[in-house]
Chain A
Amino acid sequence: MLTNITMGQYYPVDSRVHRLDPRIKLILTIAFIVCVFLASNFAGYILLSAFLFAVCRLSNVPFKMLLRGLKPLRIILILTFLLNLFFTPGDDVWVSFWIIRITREAFLQALFYSLRLMFLVAGTSLLTLTTSPISLADGLEILMGPLKKIRFPAHELAMMMTIALRFIPTLLDETDKIMKAQMARGADFESGNLLSRAKAMVPLLVPLFISAFRRAGDLAMAMESRCYHGGEGRTRLRVLKITKNDMIACVIMAAFIAMLILAGRFIPF
């Protein structure tokens, strides 16, 4: 029922993209996000799509997995599209009746905004699909390392993120189980108005929270018993090393940014 959420789920295969240093991947993802905002015309969007598709192919992650990550967003996407479509001012009117007015400008903006959202989510999903949460956390921890000097808890944050990611599938399974158990007691999660539906969630959420707290307590004890004592003096199984592969990736990204800027400048559509 709830097992088909792929956002933030690692897809464990081997590929050049998987092997990239997580720090580099994080930086490249940020660069990609900047690119998404840099793209100002259709040519840019075509380039972005081509780039995403190519990276996806290179990463051995099925394109379907990437699309599936967009599914939970479909309502927001539709909303973004519609809001922009109806409320963007413009001159070139395509459709007009009653209070509805759709202009060419509005349509283009709606399209751009929803595409932009899709690219952002797909780009970041690609990061999480190809990077194991632990190495992602490692990467983040090192990137944020300099901030430790101003007492920023980089290690703790990274560890929290790892654990959260580790427990997502477990808690999803649990939600499914509790939901079924309450349905067997006659609970109804599907009908009624918004208020009664929110109320119907109580028998689901309370046990889920209790279980999460219990797990947290257990896990804390298990970690302590395995000598966990914060980030100090800790070594890593994965030592991060910048390889030739990483350098190539950076060069490709730089070239891509250049192409995007050029496309925005010189291609007129």
Chain B
Amino acid sequence: MSIEVRHLTHTYSEGSVMRTVALDDVSFTVEKGEFVGIIGHTGSGKSTLVQHLNGLLKPSAGEVLIDGEDLNGEHVNRRALRQRIGLVFQYPEYQLFEETVAKDIAFGPKNQGLSAEEIDGRVRYAMDCVHLDYDKYSASSPFELSGGQMRRVAIAGVLAMKPSVLILDEPTAGLDPRGRDRILTMLEELHAREHTTILMVSHSMDDMARLATRLLVMAEGKLLADGTPREIFSRTEMMKGAGLDVPAAARLCQALRDRGIDLPTELYQADELRDAILRLWRQGKEATGC
């Protein structure tokens, strides 16, 4: 399933003094199986953008095409399209409402009109995806779980609808390192196993370095850059201009290169940088014969 965004513009409070252009002529296409990271300063338009991708907001101008079909077209079944695009909001645990974990996860599939059997299958599948043991947790109240677990229940609630595209708005915000790692690992697996197209908004460049195959950089409602993490993270000046950091490994690599150490450009993952430094060190040792 592909998503095509064409000249998307969104203006809040049109025609009043509060008028703000949140999105300004944004265009890009996401193909099936991509893991797209959306980065940008607060207020750069990221959240507005993702809400357009499943029709919660309507564009002021431009269009969003899902597999070539205009999401806001006249004869489109918007609810059906929306169900194929799972959207996980910030702090999604605040939307939990059912008595049991299983019932809450079943809310989406139920709205899709599935049979009881299918719903049960979906709940099991989704809990498995987020590493929550069905036998242990399905009957417990979601409000008795830890913050990280609640968040995973909420994500399972979206996964249970089996969306072809999964969009997450800062899925790790407010979690501690362990909770964050669980979510990231889970997304990594989901992407590898089912080739789900994933779009993720995050402030953490290290998370992006770990997961994304492509990055969209937003600034002041515009799409500032679109490329692989390698390309984007090597453009330190542009990133600084957008008020964004680059991963620590990319900064170290840059600093070492500035000191004349012969490292390949554009390393941004800690592992590859470690290997490159070790290679240099071993070469040096061999050359001196010790």
Q: Which A residues are within 8 Å of any B CB, using their own CB?
A: 174, 177-178, 180-188, 202-203, 206-207, 210-211
In this complex, the member of B51, B96, B108, B111 whose beta carbon has the largest number of chain A beta carbons within 10 angstroms is: B111
B227 CB, nearest partner CB in chain A, Å: 29
In the complex the two chains form, what is the Cα distance from A209 to B253 in whole Å?
50
Judging by beta carbons under 8 Å apart, are B86 and A184 in contact? yes
Judging by beta carbons under 8 Å apart, are B112 and A206 in contact? no
**Contacts between the two chains (Cβ within 8 Å), count:** 57
Closest A residue to B143 by CB, please name it. A210
Provide a sorted-by-A list of 25 A–B residue pairs whose CB atoms are within 8 angstroms. Answer: A177-B89, A177-B94, A178-B95, A180-B51, A180-B56, A181-B87, A181-B89, A181-B95, A182-B107, A184-B82, A185-B111, A185-B158, A185-B161, A186-B79, A186-B83, A186-B107, A186-B111, A186-B112, A187-B107, A188-B79, A203-B95, A207-B95, A207-B96, A207-B97, A211-B94
Residues of A within 8 A of B54 (CB): 184
Judging by beta carbons under 8 Å apart, are A185 and B94 in contact? no
B96 CB, nearest partner CB in chain A, Å: 7
B192 CB, nearest partner CB in chain A, Å: 25
Q: Could you tell me which residues of chain B, from 37 to 66, have a CB within 8 Å of some CB in chain A?
A: 51, 54, 56
Residues of A within 8 A of B143 (CB): 210
B157 at interface, CB cutoff 8 A: yes
B144 CB, nearest partner CB in chain A, Å: 12
B92 at interface, CB cutoff 8 A: yes
A203's contact among B83, B87, B89, B107, by CB below 8 Å, is which?
B107
Residues of B within 8 A of A206 (CB): 97-98
Closest B residue to A186 by CB, please name it. B111
Residues of B within 8 A of A210 (CB): 94, 97, 143
A187 CB, nearest partner CB in chain B, Å: 6
Judging by beta carbons under 8 Å apart, are A185 and B157 in contact? yes
In the complex the two chains form, what is the Cα distance from A187 to B51 in whole Å?
16
16 additional A-B pairs beyond A185-B108, A207-B94, beta carbons within 8 Å, are: A174-B94, A181-B87, A181-B92, A181-B95, A182-B107, A184-B54, A186-B82, A186-B83, A186-B107, A187-B107, A188-B111, A202-B97, A203-B97, A207-B97, A210-B94, A210-B143
Judging by beta carbons under 8 Å apart, are A184 and B87 in contact? yes
In the complex the two chains form, what is the Cα distance from A203 to B111 in whole Å?
12
Which 7 A-B pairs have CB atoms at the shortest separation, nearest pair first? A186-B111, A206-B97, A184-B87, A185-B108, A181-B95, A181-B89, A203-B97
B264 CB, nearest partner CB in chain A, Å: 42
Judging by beta carbons under 8 Å apart, are A183 and B157 in contact? no
In the complex the two chains form, what is the Cα distance from A184 to B86 in whole Å?
7
Q: Could you tell me which residues of chain B, from 151 to 172, have a CB within 8 Å of some CB in chain A?
A: 157-158, 161
Q: Could you tell me which residues of chain B, from 90 to 117, have a CB within 8 Å of some CB in chain A?
A: 92, 94-98, 107-108, 111-112
- B: interface residue count bin: 20 to 34
B111's contact among A178, A180, A187, by CB below 8 Å, is which?
A187
A217 CB, nearest partner CB in chain B, Å: 13
In the complex the two chains form, what is the Cα distance from A186 to B94 in whole Å?
17
Knowing A185-B107, A185-B111, A186-B112, the reply to whether A180 touches B89 (Cβ < 8 A) is: yes
Residues of B within 8 A of A211 (CB): 94
Residues of A within 8 A of B107 (CB): 182, 185-187, 203
B71 CB, nearest partner CB in chain A, Å: 13
A192 CB, nearest partner CB in chain B, Å: 12
Residues of A within 8 A of B97 (CB): 202-203, 206-207, 210
Q: Could you tell me which residues of chain B, from 122 to 166, have a CB within 8 Å of some CB in chain A?
A: 143, 157-158, 161
In the complex the two chains form, what is the Cα distance from A180 to B161 in whole Å?
16
In the complex the two chains form, what is the Cα distance from A180 to B54 in whole Å?
11
A184's contact among B89, B96, B98, B112, by CB below 8 Å, is which?
B89
Judging by beta carbons under 8 Å apart, are B161 and A186 in contact? yes
